[in-house]
Amino acid sequence: MAEFFIHPDRSTLHGSFSKEFTPIVSINSGDTVRFETIDAGWNTGPFQLDGVREKFCERDQPQDSGHALIGPIYINGAKEGKTLAIRINDIKTGNWGWSSGGGFPNTINKRLGLHEGPEYVLMWELDASNNLGISNKGHKIRLKPFMGIMGMPPNEEGIHSTYPPRFCGGNIDCKELVPGSILYLPIAVEGGLFSVGDGHAVQGDGEVSSPALECPMQLV
């Protein structure tokens, strides 16, 4: 069985699902793929004092309109109608993250009356070795990292958003998908074309403020 290491760069990143995307690597059943991921917003680091964030790369539209994903991975022998089993061996956060609430017009912010005001942002230092996060305001929290998005494209033409979950995966945001878990997904297209992204250092039962504690991952 082979082991592959995939790092984020312009050739491995995309922000949507499509059966028309060219796979970045082909693997066999039982192979291991180790990923390094950037945060969902395509950022290279935390907010600066002036609120500016440096982007990892230029984004091409519409294929990069959503979360930053690594992939797609072609699995030899994966056929439409079969099931892909994704075993999660390990997850380690990067050394920074962020969380926020308010400031943009999603359903939750509108319901709370926070959509027209400022966005309240916390920046976090993350200690993957001790699973500890400390915010710029002094909050401390135990980390339980997982990937928000794991999935494959549907067997339909065109570009498909990263935001909804689908029968073949996507923005699942399931905090139980930690190391030792196995995720089973129906395969919609030949080769599967699996992608992963949207790292979360910790999350409650859903992204109630819209983001979780968003972060890059040094290892998935």
Q: Where are the domains of the chain?
A: 3-43+52-219
pLDDT-derived band at 209, boundaries 50, 70, 90: low
In order of 89, 131, 176, 204, the CA distances from 218 in angstroms are: 14, 13, 19, 22
pLDDT at 116 over 90: no
Instruction: Work out the mean pLDDT of the chain and round it to a whole number.
Output: 93
How much of the chain exceeds pLDDT 70, in percent? 96
Whole-number CA gyration radius for the chain: 17
Range from 18-27, 103-112, 151-160 carrying the lowest mean pLDDT: 103-112
- Higher pLDDT, residue 170 or 110: 170
Provide mean pLDDT across the span 167-194.
97
Strand partners of residue 160: 17
Confidence label for 198 from pLDDT (cuts 50, 70 and 90): very high
pLDDT value, residue 118 = 84
- Contact (CB, 8 A) for 35 and 217: yes
140-172 burial code (b ≥16 CB/10 A, e <16): ebebebbbbbbbbbbeeeebbebeeebebbbbb
202-205: long-range contacts at Cβ-Cβ below 8 A with a sequence spacing of 24 or more?
202/133, 202/141, 202/142, 202/143, 202/144, 202/145, 202/175, 203/144, 203/146, 203/148, 203/173, 203/175, 204/175, 205/175
CB neighbours of 30 closer than 8 A, spacing ≥ 6? 1
User: Of 171, 126, 159, nearest to 19 (Cα)?
Assistant: 159
Residue 127 — very low, low, confident or very high, per pLDDT cuts 50/70/90? very high
Class of domain 3-43+52-219: mainly beta
Q: What is the pLDDT of residue 204?
A: 86
Residue 44 has pLDDT above 80, yes or no: yes
Q: pLDDT at residue 50 above 60? A: no
Q: How confident is the model at residue 51 (pLDDT cuts 50, 70, 90)?
A: low
pTM reported for the whole predicted model: 0.92
Helix (H, G, I), strand (E, B) or coil at 9: coil
